[in-house]
């Protein structure tokens, strides 16, 4: 009698477990990431053009290099420094302005999603590929907003040439390539920034 009762209890428990697992599999999956609002997109644009320190450090350093090693493109002295800085800032504003607008129209989320790998080469490849490929709920897709921004900005800057003389235009396609390189640089920085900060802290804390 006890054996039969125990067996019946085991079967009842098994049935409850199966029922619980089956009902949990029918639960509503978690909601996907909420789409970016207009305010969110403006905040991202401002972060990439007005408030992010790293790209401005690059612009200032490259512009300051004119004072040390002037070229025929930017000229010499303070004027060359100023022209170079104006051109860098204008190209950045136009590029990310077009990117933000195109992403809003195409409903793309151009925020960089870091790699889940611990391999340096795989992480590097992921950062570079993410320049032209987006991860979406439907799978990988072409980053049309990035491409449109890179090419569109190249033609706009080449036509308006802020900070440049008319004779020193680099060409629209050269500027477009530089814009894509800038996107890749930003992805690499976002991917490896935590590691760089961790390495810097460790070096400072263990410094003799």
pLDDT of amino acid 26: 39
Non-local (6+) Cβ contacts of 178 within 8 A are: 91, 154
Q: Which of 47, 37, 88, 40 is nearest to 64 (CA)?
A: 88
pLDDT in tens, 129-165: 999 998 776 778 899 999 999 999 999 999 988 877 7
Report the 3 state secondary structure along the chain.
CHHHHHHHHHHHHHHHHHHHHHHHHCCCCCCCCCCCCHHHHHHHHHHHHHHCHHHHHHHHHHHHHHHHCCECCCECHHHHHHHHHHHHHHHHHHHHHHHHHHHHHHCCCCCCCCCCCCCHHHHHHHHHHCCCEEEECCEEEECHHHHHHHHHHHHHHHHHCCCCCHHHCCCHHHHHHHHHHHHHHHHHHHHHHHHHHHHHHHHHHCCC
Output the CA–CA distances (angstroms, integers) from residue 69 to 21, 36, 38, 66, 73, in the order listed: 70, 44, 43, 5, 12
Residue 35 confidence class, pLDDT cut points 50, 70, 90: confident
Q: Which of 182, 202, 183, 205 is nearest to 194 (CA)?
A: 202
Whether residue 177 contacts residue 198, with contact meaning beta carbons closer than 8 Å, is answered with no
Lowest mean pLDDT among 32-46, 49-63, 109-123, 182-196: 49-63
CA–CA separation, 171 and 149 (whole Å): 16
Estimate to the nearest angstrom the gap between the alpha carbon of 65 and the chain centroid.
27
Out of 31-35, 39-43, 80-84, 91-95, the most confident range is 91-95
pLDDT of amino acid 99: 94
pLDDT of amino acid 95: 92
pLDDT of amino acid 83: 78
User: Residue written as tokens 């993410």?
Assistant: 130
Say if residue 107's pLDDT is above 80: yes
* Nearest-10 crossing angle of helices 53-68, 77-106: 150
């Amino acid at each position: 009698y006890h054996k039969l009762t125990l067996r019946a209890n085991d079967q009842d428990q098994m049935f409850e477990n199966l029922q619980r697992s089956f009902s949990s599999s029918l639960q509503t999956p978690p909601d996907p990431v909420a789409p970016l609002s207009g305010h969110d997109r403006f905040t991202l644009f401002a972060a990439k053009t007005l408030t992010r320190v790293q790209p401005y450090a690059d612009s200032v350093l490259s512009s300051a290099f004119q004072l040390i090693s002037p070229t025929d493109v930017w000229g010499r002295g303070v004027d060359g420094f100023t022209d170079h800085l104006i051109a860098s800032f204008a190209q950045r504003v136009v590029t990310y302005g077009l990117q933000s607008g195109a992403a809003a129209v195409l409903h793309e989320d151009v925020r960089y999603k870091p790699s889940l790998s611990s391999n340096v080469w795989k992480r590097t490849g992921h950062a570079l590929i993410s320049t032209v490929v987006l991860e979406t709920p439907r799978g990988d897709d072409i980053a049309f907003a990035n491409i449109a921004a890179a090419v569109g900005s190249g033609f706009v800057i080449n036509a308006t040439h802020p900070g440049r003389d008319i004779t020193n235009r680099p060409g629209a396609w050269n500027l477009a390539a530089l814009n894509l390189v800038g996107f890749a640089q930003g992805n690499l920085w976002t991917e490896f920034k935590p590691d760089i900060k961790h390495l810097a802290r460790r070096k400072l804390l263990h410094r003799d």
